[in-house]
């Protein structure tokens, strides 16, 4: 089954919240854990045990595992495997962007089922030109996976590139137009999504491109349901709000983590309604 169909089914069955698994050193400390591989493993696998059975999507941030080298990546492999075994889709937040054979190597690492890091979808950066991510797009198609392309991020530096003018509008607008082309005719939605921050305020860019939208920044970072409705309008039906700190702060208690995940899901439950 294609990623867009799997995601649509998962959101219907398990709710639309995406929970990030981001083992910040500060969060490890808050959980009473050391900032080492043992602490990383305890944190990440506890979060997966509590959260993955409750939500449609988990989003591990690869950098927080990679900082521990090969042993950290081994923990990430377990996070991916255990999350999928619990029924959650895994959106691996890697934000890779390169050209040619290197772009293909990233695609093989994260989207080919033969890889121990294979995930249901990944985040990518198109800012070397949209064509530079075509190996990832093609590999996702081949394996029924998804790709979320950075478009309108909420970091203050983002507009330097994303709002830059092009012959047809803006860089962000061009990215969204390319996604619309990739998703044309797909039902219930396409496999190729955009990353649009839940705290960008507003935008005139067309966000209804028949694909999923990852909206990081919901919850502790300030994004609200009202913000999502205002920003996305009719496209809000395909929005996957992402929350990390607000849920993870409930740990290390398993019951508290589960309750926080359920509460986040309930907070965005009405987004799919007309």
Task: Tell me the C-alpha distance between 61 and 53, whole Å.
Answer: 19
Contact 211, 182 (CB under 8 A): yes
Cβ neighbour number for residue 118 with a 10 Å cutoff:
21
User: Catalytic amino acids?
Assistant: 95
User: What burial class does residue 207 get, using C-beta atoms within 10 Å of its C-beta: 0-12 exposed, 13-18 middle, 19+ buried?
Assistant: buried
Q: Which tokens go with 103?
A: 């772009």
Q: Read off the DSSP letter of residue 223.
A: B
Contact 112, 139 (CB under 8 A): yes
In degrees, to the nearest 5, what angle opens at C-alpha 189 toward C-alphas 135 and 163? 65
Q: Report which of 210, 139, 146, 138 is spatially closest to residue 181, judged by C-alpha positions.
A: 210
């Amino acid at each position: 089954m294609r990623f867009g169909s799997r995601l649509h089914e998962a959101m219907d069955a398990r709710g639309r919240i995406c929970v990030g698994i981001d083992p910040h050193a500060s969060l490890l400390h808050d959980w009473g854990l050391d900032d080492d591989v043992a602490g990383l493993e305890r944190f990440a696998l506890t979060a997966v045990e509590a959260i993955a059975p409750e939500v449609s999507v988990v989003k591990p941030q690869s950098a927080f595992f990679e900082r521990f080298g090969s042993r950290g990546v081994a923990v990430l492999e377990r996070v991916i495997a255990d999350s999928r075994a619990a029924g959650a889709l895994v959106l691996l937040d890697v934000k890779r962007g390169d050209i040619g054979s290197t772009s293909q190597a990233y695609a093989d690492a994260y989207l080919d089922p033969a890889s121990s890091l294979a995930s249901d979808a990944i985040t990518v950066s198109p800012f070397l030109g949209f064509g530079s991510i075509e190996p990832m797009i093609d590999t996702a198609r081949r394996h029924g996976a998804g790709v979320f392309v950075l478009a309108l991020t909420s970091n203050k530096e983002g507009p330097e590139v994303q709002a830059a003018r092009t012959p047809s509008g803006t860089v962000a607008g061009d990215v969204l137009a390319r996604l619309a082309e990739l998703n044309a005719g797909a039902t219930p939605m396409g496999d190729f999504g955009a990353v649009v921050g839940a705290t960008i305020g507003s935008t005139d860019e067309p966000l209804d491109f028949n694909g999923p939208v990852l909206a990081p920044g919901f919850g502790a970072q300030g994004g609200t349901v009202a913000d999502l409705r205002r920003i996305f309008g009719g496209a809000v039906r395909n929005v996957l709000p992402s929350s990390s700190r607000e849920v993870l702060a409930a740990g290390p208690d398993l019951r508290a983590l589960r309750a926080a995940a359920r509460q986040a899901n309930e907070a965005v439950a009405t987004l799919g309604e007309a």
